[in-house]
Chains A and B, each alone.
Chain A
Amino acid sequence: DAGITQSPRYKITETGRQVTLMCHQTWSHSYMFWYRQDLGHGLRLIYYSAAADITDKGEVPDGYVVSRSKTENFPLTLESATRSQTSVYFCASSEVRTDTQYFGPGTRLTVL
């Protein structure tokens, strides 16, 4: 039972480069979420998706793009990475709108 996985687990990139973080879940959960976690801020919602081809902005969406062509995948793209996007990124999923969210292992991204 793989659950929810993220790749890569660690990534170092340079400012201005495009980076895509992958998220894959095997539960067929409808809802998927992307969060970033920074010291002193807790987890903040970037984007979420209610189903394939349905996405919407969260609290901190600027500089990020998402897509969801298949239920199981929810990639997050930084179109032109900035140093302020250095963070740990967590993907989460839930079966229904109001259910418990289950988190992936995270991707630690460093932008130089």
Chain B
Amino acid sequence: GQNIDQPTEMTATEGAIVQINCTYQTSGFNGLFWYQQHAGEAPTFLSYNVLDGLEEKGRFSSFLSRSKGYSYLLLKELQMKDSASYLCAVRNDYKLSFGAGTTVTVRA
């Protein structure tokens, strides 16, 4: 079976840093995706980790530890437009299994 856990909600202040954790227990693992989804819109790709370690893309970074079944998405220098849901998804071959998502609210 697939079990992917993320916090339901997080709140942070504009300009701050927020870390969204994702833990997983899955029957197979070929990589981990992070997607961003604004309310009423489609998920959009943010990052993909296959190997252990940190991947940095501008203000966003993603970390993976396969031995611990753990990933996090780090959002730096938060902006109001970063208010959205962040979805963690584990890839097993072509199939993606998603967590329920973490809603991040950025306050001024």
Residues of A within 8 A of B (CB): 31, 33, 40-45, 48, 50, 58-59, 90, 94, 97-98, 100-106
Can you name the residue of chain A whose Cβ is closest to the Cβ of B89? A43
Which residues of chain B from 50 to 105 have a CB within 8 Å of any chain A CB? 87, 89, 91, 93-101
Majority secondary structure of chain B interface residues (helix, strand, loop or mixed): strand
B102: shortest Cβ distance to chain A, in Å? 11
Are B99 and A45 within 8 A (Cβ)? no
B26 at the interface (CB under 8 A from A): no
Are A45 and B33 within 8 A (Cβ)? no
- What count of chain B residues pass the 8 Å CB interface test? 23
Are B91 and A98 within 8 A (Cβ)? yes
Are A43 and B87 within 8 A (Cβ)? yes
Are A41 and B100 within 8 A (Cβ)? yes
Set B45, B93, B98: member contacting A43, Cβ < 8 A: B98
Are A44 and B33 within 8 A (Cβ)? no
Can you name the residue of chain A whose Cβ is closest to the Cβ of B8? A40
Are B99 and A98 within 8 A (Cβ)? no
Complex A-B, nearest 3 residue pairs according to Cβ-Cβ distance, in ascending order: A42-B98, A103-B42, A43-B98
Are B94 and A102 within 8 A (Cβ)? no
Contacts of B43 in A (CB 8 A): 43, 90, 103
